[in-house]
Structures are given as C-alpha cells and as structure tokens.
A and B are shown apart, each in its own frame.
Chain A
Amino acid sequence: MTTPPPPLQVRGAVRSFGSTRAVDGVDLELHAGELLVLVGPSGCGKSTLLRSIAGLVPLDEGSITVGGEVVDDGRSNTPPEHRPVGMVFQDHSLFPHLTIGDNVAFGIRKAPAAERKAKVAELLAMVEIDHLAKRYPHEISGGERQRASVARAVAPHPRLLLLDEPFAALDPNLREQVRTQLVNLLRATETPAVFVSHDQAEAMALGDRVAVMRAGRLEQLGSGPDIYDRPVNRFVASFMGDAAFLPVTQGDAGPQTELGPIDAEPSSAAREAVIRPADVGLEADPEGQSEVIDSTYQGPTWTYDVRLPSGAVVRSTRPRSLALQHGDRVRACLDTTAPALVQADGG
C-alpha cells in the first residue's frame, strides 16, 4: 500500500515582479490534515506564495503539486478553477449580490439541490451562523462575514485551504473566537490548510507548524516551540518575539555570556545567545552592576529594560510581586542554561 501524496508540495518556487523576487526559491511540504502558518513581515512574499498555490499568480520557476497533481511547473499552470484548492481572502470577498446561503453554495452549484442545501446548512451550523443564511453580506458583522467566507471556501471539499490573513480586520477578542471555530472546522473536515499571518503570536497559537519568511525566502520551518526556542538566525529570533543578543565568550568554566555560564559546545564562541525576557532573572541589589533603565507595567507582569555592565540592554519579564523603579540597581542572571544560539552576523 502506498502512502497518499502530501496535500501540498512546493519545490524551488520563484516569482518576480519587475526586478523584485517576491518569492525566491521556496521549498515547502504540507502533511495530511496539517495547519501550516506562513508568517513574516509585510512584503516578505508570503501572500504571493499563497496566491501562486491558488493559481492566481503563476510561478516563474519551480513547481507546485497539490495532492500529487502538478498544478504549476513554471511554464504552464492550471487555472484556479481547476485546482482542488479553496481560498479565504483578507477582506472576506463575499459576493455582495448573493445571500450568505447562496455565497456558500456558489462553489457547489452543480451539486443536486437537496445535497447542496444540506451541505450549506451543515457548514453554516459549524461556524454558528446558520440563522444568517437569508441575509446579505452587508447585513451581517465582520466576524460573521469572515466565518461565512471560510464556510464558502470549504464547501466544495478542497484538498487544501488557503487563508490570507483572514482575521486581520477583526478586533482581537473576536479574532480569537473566529480562530477557534476555524480550527474546529478544519479538524472536522480534515482539511489541510496554509494560513498567512504577519502576527507571530497568532502563528504560534494556530499552526501545527510555522514557516517564517523573509525577502522571498523561507528562513525556518518547524513547530511553534521549535521556532521560538531554536531560531536559526537573529531575524527569526527577533521576529518571533522580544529578543536580546549577548555574545558567547570562552570563560574558565566553558562558554558563557554576560549573564553567566551556559551549556554549549566550546566551539560556540562566534555565536550569540538569544535572551528571551522570560529567561532573565532579576534581584534588587544596591551593589548590583546592572541598572533598570525602563519599566512598563502590563497587568500580570512587569517588563524591565536592564543595562548590563557592558552596556548591553536586555529585557526581563517578571511577576508583579517584584516592583523595581527606574534607576534601581539589580543583579541579573539567566534562568536557563540552554539559550538558543545564533550566528553573530546572522542578520
């Protein structure tokens, strides 16, 4: 018995606009039933890559295979209507002249009426807007529109669902709720999906795996903790969350940073340690060599910026029981002995 082909394979994908390489040699493979989040700063090529997969932007080079079928080989490409791919757009893109029910039914127009009706009802119920089937898009809220748009994309049973920052226009509370419904819907329909986001927190919360893109290239692909805790370079480290970088030096007891010794190969000298705010311990000490230069109250926690004796500044997130003032002297240490290491000039 052969294993089924992966829902999506991207090989050496290149797409240029003028002299800019929007997508510059990307390789990517999606596992069955997986939700992959493509994340990166704006202009990194994540939307272009998504649109290439959908068939809206042909590739210059490379290939895209959906469910084992080559849909783009850099020379010819299958048009979007013949790809087993659904897409949800940033601005919902519901057809304004059709009701929500008719919108969801649009992709399954050719199915028998009874089947179609049942499917629409089922999907609308899954995203909890079954009472809105007769309404028009302009008559419902932004969150409801986005849910309808997801239901519409899933209706024709695509082998792959693509979502282009679908929740960017929603307010944060609503976003979380709609996101949960989306995940439930994807799990229920066993639809693998590629989700584009510029929000690293959303990426980690949502993705089975996260792909970080910069300037058309895939910088790192892995699970959320992988990427947060083991970033491959400075860019990924700082894009995925607050990070300071301290040089690793060779001390008497082995490799160390200004905050203390770390577990690392002796050859790590040319590298830098990624210092996450949660990993920096602080202790008030009038004799301390470090100084609090900024403090921000954030409810459950305080965030402090601390200047070390070398002049380097690290950030520390501490519980609110520890209240320090601007100018306080502190002793800083590393709560972990295994910080991520990145190449010093890794950009």
Chain B
Amino acid sequence: MTAHARTARLSRIGWGSFAVIAAVVTVVPVAAVVGGILQPSTDVWRQQWDTRLPGEIWTSLLLVVGVCTVAVVLGVGLAWLVGAHDFPGRGFFTWAFVLPLALPAYILGFVVSSVFGVAGPIQSTWRDLFGRDAWFPEVRSLPMAIAVFSLTLYPYVYLMARAALRDQAGDSFSVARSLGASTGEAFRKVVVPMLRPALAAGAAIVAMETLTDFATVQYFNVDTVTVGVFRIWRGSYDRDAAAEIACLVLAFAVIAIMLERVFRGRARFAESGGHGAGFTRRRLRGAKAVLATIGSSIVVILAFGAPTAQLVAWAYEEQTSPRGTPLTDQFPEYLRHSATLTLCTVGICLLVAVLTTNGLRFAPSKVVAVAKRLSTIGYAVPGVVVAMGVILTLVGLDRFLGTFHRGLPGTVATGSFLALVYAYGVRFLAPSVTSVESGLDQVPPDLTASARSLGSRPATVLRCIHLPLSKGSMLTAAILVGVDALKELPIALLLRPIGFDTLPVWTYNLASESRFHQAALPALTIIAVALIPVALLSRGLDRRSSE
C-alpha cells in the first residue's frame, strides 16, 4: 500500500467516524432511559401507580389527543381558507397565521391564565355585571390548556398543509372539479386524502411539543406524566425513578410516531416535492367574505395580537411604575445566560452537522448514512427524556472515570452547564443536520470530485468549496437551532446549574409567582427573537407563492 493510499484510508475512516460518534453520543442518553426500565425500581413504580400515575397517564392522553385534534382542524381549515379562497386581507393572514410560532405555550399560558383568571380583568367585569357568584368557566382546566396549546401549535399543521395544498393538491382539485365534483366533495375526497401525510407529520410535531411541556400545563393544574417526572426529579433528585417515568413519556412519543406512520400509510406524495400549478382561488363575496376576514382576525388576535399587546402593556407599566423595578437590573444577566447557552448550542450543532454531512460526502458508506440518521433522533424524543438521559449518561461517565480516579468537573448529577449544552445538542441537532444537508445537496457531487481531482484534500474542499456554497443553509440552521434553544424551557428547568437561569426559566419563575408584569419583559424578548425565523418562513411562503 502506498503512503497516499494509507493516508487516504485513515482520512476516510476519520470522516466517517464523525457521524458514528455523533450518533453514539446522541443515542446513548435515549438508550440509557430505555435501558433503565430493564431494572425497574419497583417500589417507586408501586407508589406512583397507587397515587398519581394512572391519573397522569389519562390526563396526558386527553391533552395530546385534544390538542392534536384542535390544532389539525384549525391548521387545515386556515390553510384551506387562504389556499383556495380570496377574501379581504388574505395576503396578510397567509403569513400572520404563522406568527403564533413565535409565542411559546408557556408565555401564552400565563397571559391567558392571568387575564382570564379569578383576579383578572375579564372575571372581574363578569362579576360586576352578573353578581359575585355568577358562573364562569374554570380557567385552570384541561380544556383551557388544550386551547392554549392548540393556538400556539396549529402553525405547524398550517405550514405543512399549506405547502401540500400549494405544491400538490391544486391540480388534482381542478381535475376533480372538472369531473363534476362540487367544491365540498372535491375537498373531502381529493384534497383531504392528499393532505394526509402532511397532517400526520404536523400532528406528530404537535404531539411531541405538547408531551414535552411541563410548564404550561402547571398554570392550568393539568397533571401530565411529564409533570410527574419533573416533580420526582426536583422533589427527590432520584434520577433513576425520574428516568423510568420519563420512559412513559417516550412511549407516548413512540406511539405518536407510529400512529403517524400508520396514518400516512404508504402515501409519499407530500415528500415528492412536486410543484403543481396551485389553486385557482375562489373569490368569496358578501357575508362569506366578511365571515372569513372576521374569523381569521379572531385567530390572529387570540393567538398573537392580544397576548403580545397585553405583554407590552405590562412591560410598559412595569418600566414606568414609580415603585421601581429592581428585577430589570437582572435582565442583562439572564440575557447573557441565554445568549451563552444558545451560542454554544448553535456552535456545537453546526459543527457536528457540517462534519457529519460532509463526512457522508467524503466517505460514503451505509454505516455512515445510518449513523447520520440516528444522530437526528433527538427531535423525536421529548425534552424531558433527553434531559433525564443526559443525566444518566453523565453520571455513568463520571462513575466510569472514577475507576481511573478522574471525574467530570462540577456536579453533573444535579445539573451543570455541560449537561445543559449536551442535552440541547441532542435535542436540536436534527434541524441543524437537515438544513446543512439540504445546503450540501445543492453542491453537486461532481463539484466535489472536480475539486479533489484538482488536488484538494477533503478538508480543503470543505473550506474552499462546500462551506462558501452552503453559507445560506448554515445561516438557516443557525437561526432555527438558535431560536429553538432560546425558547427551550423544560430541559433548562431540569438541568440548569444553580444560579444559571435563562430567559424562559426566569419568565416561568416570575409567572408561577403571579408576577406577570415583571415576566412581560423577558417574555417579549423571547417573542422578538423568535419572530426572526417566522419572518424567514413567511418570506419563503411569499416567494414560493409568487413563482
């Protein structure tokens, strides 16, 4: 073997190993949680089973089914409304319907529970009008939680349904109409079946986001399994028990993904990415047009406009109040924590994504391809499972290093910055890999081959050709991951080291102490940052629809 051939083999192994290492590092925490169930702590289970667990499981089920149903109906309905009809304000609503993505459920949750709560303005007015004992629907309840989640999560379904309507269903709808089907018939028999894969995928994301939450649900006194995990962990720091209960959350997630597969069936049209002619939009007239505009306005106001306005009002009152707001002084510190964490997460996710996707290009093999897919598993695993898994993994690693009289720095067992970044990385690697990969897909393999046969080593090709040509997708990856990481609450609540509170944690803490006025500023900051990808998404919608 020549020296060149030997270095080449080493280089191939090196490039291939990035994906394999990423996959192992990502899969181990999940495997640790699943593995824990093999040695169950029976007394914990018995105690849980005799007390809260059955109720928690039932509540989780109701919550997820309820949110998925409402979000799908709302998302598809709105997509159909703006996709196939014309009415005053349609252009505005097309992108305004995406805005709620910038408003995390834990923010909308506290605004709703405070405004509609017993002490809030709505109930006070109600009592003034109808007397002290007038009936008012219970705010801290499951239906209200379902409403809040649905209003924040429906955009996922809306976006997917909208893309499917635009790219695929348009032509078929026209054909069905020309074959004599009425609008309603064509919608039911042609459009809805074609949307099925998009709906399944959208609903799966909605289910995952709902499952992973344990902050919002607590505003509404809804005890889910995820809350159970949080309670056990924060109450007793019994990581094994918490991880085992987290397994139940994972089971819910797995069921959701399996249901998606079943529901989607063998249909693959949503992925074929065709570009149909789109819909010829039907112009709504008279009462119908008015109804469409008013209905759309109500959704946008309820899901985004009103809560944001309320937050602005609170923040303004707080800043101008003569009592002074010492809490604002802490704002820079929380901001710094959030920024540090977000930047670290973005950096790691981008680095890993670039190395794994390029590794597959430079050292193509089945193993590397599978490893790259495995490394994106974190997005399909609820945050609470990732968090518990990371704790188990780090504790295991610590013990292992202990046999060599070494240890990990800090107290990994109860949360550390390392654990936090690790968990964020596992959770958010998927969007990063997907974006970077789509960028690299734009670079034809022959371009890579050209550069190499002109004498460039893989690392040089990466630096001189691949990176400059996929700058855009790397920026997209950075924004998607960055905003997700900035918004993330459950993992931060579970794993943050003492004194390292992020903006979402601060918001949540203030809100749970009913200090809504003070929570408004960090909440608004999160919303402002989260609007960046929403704006990018809307621009994408516009660009595509103007084609």
Contact = CB atoms under 8 A, between A and B. Distances in A.
A, B: real partners: yes
A289 interface: no
Given A77-B8, A106-B454, A156-B454, A56 B1 contact: no
A75 B8 CA distance: 12
Given A76-B9, A81-B455, A89 B4 contact: no
Interface residues of A, number: 31
Interface stretch (B186-194, B441-449, B536-544): B441-449
A80 B458 CA distance: 10
B322 interface: no
A96 interface: yes
Interface in A142-199: 152-153, 155-156
A158 B469 CA distance: 27
Contact of B2 (A70, A85, A87): A70
A107 B456 CA distance: 8
A100 to B, nearest CB: 14
Interface in B390-445: 444
Interface string B1-34: 1101111110100000000000000000000000
Range, interface on chain B? 20 to 34
A79 B469 CA distance: 23
B451 A95 contact: yes
B465 interface: yes
A162 to B, nearest CB: 8
Contact of A80 (B9, B447, B452, B465): B452
B180 to A, nearest CB: 45
Interface string A119-133: 000000000000000
A51 B453 CA distance: 10
Given A87-B449, A91-B444, A79 B4 contact: yes
Contacts of A23: none
Given A76-B5, A80-B449, 14 more contacts: A51-B449, A54-B449, A56-B452, A56-B453, A69-B2, A79-B4, A79-B7, A79-B452, A93-B446, A93-B449, A95-B450, A106-B454, A106-B456, A152-B454
A101 interface: no
Nearest to B460: A81
Contacts of A153: 453-454
B457 interface: yes
A77 B9 CA distance: 8
B465 to A, nearest CB: 6
Given A76-B9, A93-B447, A83 B465 contact: no
A45 interface: no
A160 B456 CA distance: 17
Contacts of A155: 454
B454 A107 contact: yes
A55 B453 contact: yes
Given A76-B2, A78-B4, A89-B446, A97 B454 contact: no
Contacts of A77: 5, 8
A89 B6 contact: no
Given A81-B455, A86-B454, A97 B5 contact: no
A77 B450 CA distance: 18
A89 B456 contact: no
14 contacts: A54-B449, A55-B453, A70-B2, A76-B1, A76-B9, A78-B4, A82-B8, A86-B454, A87-B449, A93-B447, A95-B451, A97-B469, A106-B456, A152-B450
Contacts of A80: 449, 452-453
Nearest to A77: B5
B326 interface: no
Nearest to A51: B449
Contact of B5 (A78, A95, A152): A78
Q: What 5 pairs between A and B have smallest CB-CB spacing?
A: A107-B454, A76-B5, A79-B8, A80-B452, A76-B1
A254 B130 CA distance: 123
Nearest to B445: A56
Contact of B455 (A70, A93, A156): A156
B454 to A, nearest CB: 4
B455 A107 contact: yes
Interface centre among B11, B447, B453 (most CB of A within 10 A): B453
Contacts of A106: 451, 454, 456, 464
Nearest to A164: B446
Interface string B444-486: 1011011111111100000011001100000000000000000
Contacts of B450: 87, 89, 93, 95, 152
Nearest to A110: B455
B453 A78 contact: no
Nearest to A79: B8
Contacts of A82: 4, 8, 455
Nearest to A72: B5
B457 A95 contact: no
Contacts of A152: 450, 454
A97 B453 CA distance: 18
Nearest to B455: A81
Interface string B352-378: 000000000000000000000000000
A281 to B, nearest CB: 49
B453 A87 contact: yes
A81 B462 CA distance: 14
Interface centre among A70, A75, A107 (most CB of B within 10 A): A107
